[in-house]
Amino acid sequence: MFKNNYAYSNFGVDDIVKAVDFYRNKLGLKVEEDGFGFKLTLSGTDAYVMPMGQNYQPAAFHILNFDVGNIEQAVAALKEKGIALETFAGMEQDELGIMRGKAAGAGPDMAIFKDPAGNMLAVVEL
């Protein structure tokens, strides 16, 4: 039924101006504003970001994953932009803040960071 339909993801933020700046200028993504929210044009799909007001509560999991060829370089680039990585109790992360799933046979290597609204995002090396 939905096989040939265009599909996209959406998520909210508490401050659309801060979000536009972060996604456009910190992450370098294509941002198309429409007077309400904005569309992120990503490789293979899109995501729509909409304002949810000051009471917005971000999800308790990462909502966007960016597949990268070299996670160490991606983490270094995030840190150069002043973007901190998140750490989680009970999850092993190395000195760079990367969860090394590939070496453990438990999924990809991953590092998680947040946007200004507190939404968790991840760089992932498959």
Within a domain: 23: yes
This model's pTM is above 0.95: no
CATH of the domain at 104: 3.10.180.10
Domains in the chain, number: 1
User: Distance between CA 105 and CA 103 in Å, rounded?
Assistant: 6
pLDDT in tens, 41-100: 998 789 999 999 999 999 999 999 999 999 999 999 999 999 999 998 888 899 999 999
Residue 56 CA to its chain's centroid (Å): 17
pLDDT in tens, 14-44: 999 999 999 999 999 999 999 999 999 998 7
Which residue range(s) make up the domain with 54? 9-125
